[in-house]
Amino acid sequence: MSVLRPLDKQPGLNTATILLVGTEDALLQQLADSMLKEDCASELKVHLARSLPLPSNVNRPRIDLIVFVVNLHSKYSLRNVEESLRHVDATFFLGKVGFLATGAGRESHCSIHRNTVVRLAHTYRSPLLFCDLEVRIAWAQGKGSQSTMGVSRTLLRGSSSA
Amino acid sequence: MDSYDTPESTPRHSASSKLKDYFIGATPLQKRLESVRKQTSFIPTPPRRKIPQCSQLQEDNDPQKVAFLLNKQWTLYSLTPLYKFSYTNLKEYSRLLSAFIAAEKQKGLAVEVGEDFNIKVTFSTLLGMKGTQRDPEAFLVQILSKSQLPSENREHKVLWTGWFCCIFGDSLLETVSEDFTCVPLFLANGAETNTAIVGTWFQKTFDCYFSPLAINAFNLSWMAAMWTACKMDQYMAATEFLWSVPCSPQSLDISYAIHPEDAKALWDSVHKTPGEVTQEEVDLFMDCLYSHFHRHFKIHLSATRLVRVSTSVASAHTDGKIKILCHKYLIGVLAYLTELAIFQID
């Protein structure tokens, strides 16, 4: 089984690569789009994956940050993330992994308790952000919601240290 | 930025249970202040709950008197503590509320065709509907219509029923002063307009606040596990679940019905600690159902939203609707709902 290691490839010149892992395809796409719109010091590449391990036959750059997206409304997404975490090398968790829990705004739709995700992030010593990527604000300009842009800005600030 | 102390044990013994041990003896208000100062989030979900049992107090009350509470669909609301509510003034309150309702109806706010304006409101206490002696007495409000015809028995037709109760509400009772009466759970059956009018009167008179109590999928799966765990002599209904699949344009509903004895057998195979239900057991119980469904239909139910749970003990819908079918576990069901209501108030 191939395991993601942080330092097994040469870093790209002035590029940063973020990997988003999660089952919610539409949300990941939206988040990736808004991240690419943000100003970034280096050239930003965003990869999307439903789960790990990634197919090994593809040539891809070194990954600088992995964000695991858990949808609080779906236990399936949590299980998927838990399965995927096994395919990440332990050294990745030294600041190159983050958790994003979406759907936190609508408590009535949640099937996972917040504490479960908090515990997961705590076990892996990685930061956790709660957000709601599906909330749309009527007057947001362009595509993507205000909250998605806010989330992407926070993630990029974190990844710029990588 | 590690704000917890890590115990050298499995993730099961999490920060929340460690916090719980630390705070034994402190009032909930103190615990909350402590956790804010420590910048940890105090999430009051216990990792284990007791299986509903027949409480001592409930055995004292007459099954017939509370029979009208069963087999009816109740809409749930959570209620903040009532200021200066007195159980001795119930007659006064019924008079005031009747006057208020009559006034509201004449204003044209809630006019129904063919309805006579002769209504009577009764306030009465429901004895035995409490978990511990500390809980305030539950009370019932009913709107009855007085019949115009001079018939002999003068049967009053019940138009609307609402009742307030507090079952094992210790965590809330400790934080309020004596002027307040804590009855955080409100259940209503009848026309929505009447619920709104009664709610407005209570809010004006006792400075409290009603809010609809929604039950999320997480709590519904807890209810499913706890109610399946209840020992029943006779099963009146199948155990049924309803999931809503989020898809466009219209959401799909998936309904899954199991024979109640099979559900109980599954629960018994999962259940370890006698008398208590833990988070792991609930998750395992639901996962068994999900994997069975997936094997047959290749649909991941865990990616959908649980919307309704129906067992022989009670049935609950995510919009905050409940129907209790079994007298024996009435207090147990209400205890969990009280906990959810208190959590919503906080």
B102 shares its domain with B174: yes
- Choose between A162 and A46: higher pLDDT: A46
- Looking at residue B34, its pLDDT comes to 59
Higher-pLDDT residue of A61, B289: B289
pLDDT score at A85: 93
In this complex, the residue of A73, A77, A122 whose CB is nearest that of residue B305 is A73
Q: Are B126 and B163 in contact (CB under 8 A)?
A: yes
Answer yes or no: is B150 within a domain.
yes
User: Is the Cβ of B62 closer than 8 Å to some Cβ of chain A?
Assistant: no
**Domain identity same for B89 and B146:** yes
Q: State residue B145's pLDDT score.
A: 84
B216–chain A nearest CA distance, Å: 4
> Does residue B259 sit within a domain?
yes
**Could you tell me the strand order of the sheet in which A43-49 lies?**
A43-49, A15-21, A65-71, A97-102, A128-131
Q: Are B117 and B202 members of one domain?
A: yes
Q: What is the pLDDT of residue B8?
A: 41
Return the pLDDT at B30: 62
Residue among B4, B14, B244 with most chain A CBs within 10 A, to mutate: B14
Q: Give the chain A residue whose CA is nearest to the CA of B319.
A: A108
Nearest to B218 among A111, A118, A127 (CB): A111
pLDDT score, position B11: 41
- Is B272 within the bounds of a domain? yes
Pair (B202, B247) in one structural domain: no
The residue-averaged pLDDT of A65-85 equals 93
Taking the CA atoms of chain A, what radius of gyration do you get in angstroms? 15
Q: Domain boundary residue among B190, B210, B230?
A: B210
Residue among B184, B217, B167 at smallest CA distance from B317 = B217
Mean pLDDT for A56-77 is: 89
Q: In terms of domains, do B177 and B221 share one?
A: no
Query: For residue B177, is it within any domain?
Result: yes
A16 closest CA partner among A75, A67, A68: A67
Q: Cβ–Cβ of A111/B216 closer than 8 Å?
A: yes
- Residues in chain B with CB shorter than 8 Å from the CB of A23 are 303
Which of B 11-40 lie inside 8 A of A, CB atoms? 11, 14-16
- A40, A88, A121, A153, A155 from A67: Cα distances, Å: 17, 12, 11, 13, 8
Instruction: Quote ipTM for the complex.
Output: 0.78
pLDDT (tens digit per residue) in A86-104: 999 889 898 899 999 998 8
Domain of residue B88 covers: 61-210
pTM to 2 decimal places? 0.80
State the average pLDDT over residues A48-68: 87
Q: What chain A residue is nearest to B15 in terms of C-alpha separation?
A: A119
Residues of A in contact with B305 (CB under 8 A): 73-74, 109, 111
- B209's CB contacts (< 8 A; 6+ apart) are B79, B80, B203
The alpha carbon of residue B220 is apart from the nearest alpha carbon of chain A, in Å, by 9
If asked whether residues B181 and B67 sit together in one domain, one would say yes
Domain check: are B146 and B228 in the same one?
A: no
To the nearest whole Å, the CA of A94 is away from the closest chain B CA by: 12
Boundary of a domain, candidates B194, B210, B226: B210
Same domain, yes or no: B189 and B235:
no
Domain count, chain B: 2
B 233-292 residues inside an 8 A Cβ radius of A: 246, 279, 286, 290
- B43 lies in some domain: no
> Of the candidates B214, B218, B306, which has its C-beta nearest A113's C-beta?
B218
Contacts of B215 in chain A (CB under 8 A): 108
Continuous H helices in chain B: 15-22, 28-38, 56-60, 90-106, 170-173, 192-206, 217-229, 260-270, 279-297, 330-345
Tell me which residues of chain B have a pLDDT lower than 50: 1-18, 20-24, 39-44, 114, 152
- Give yes or no: residues B230 and B189 share one domain: no
pLDDT of residue A162: 43
Looking at the fold, whether B175 and B220 belong to one and the same domain comes out as no
| Domains of chain A and CATH, by start | 62-136 (3.40.50.300)
Report yes or no on B330 lying in a domain.
no
Asked whether residue B195 is domain-assigned, the answer is yes
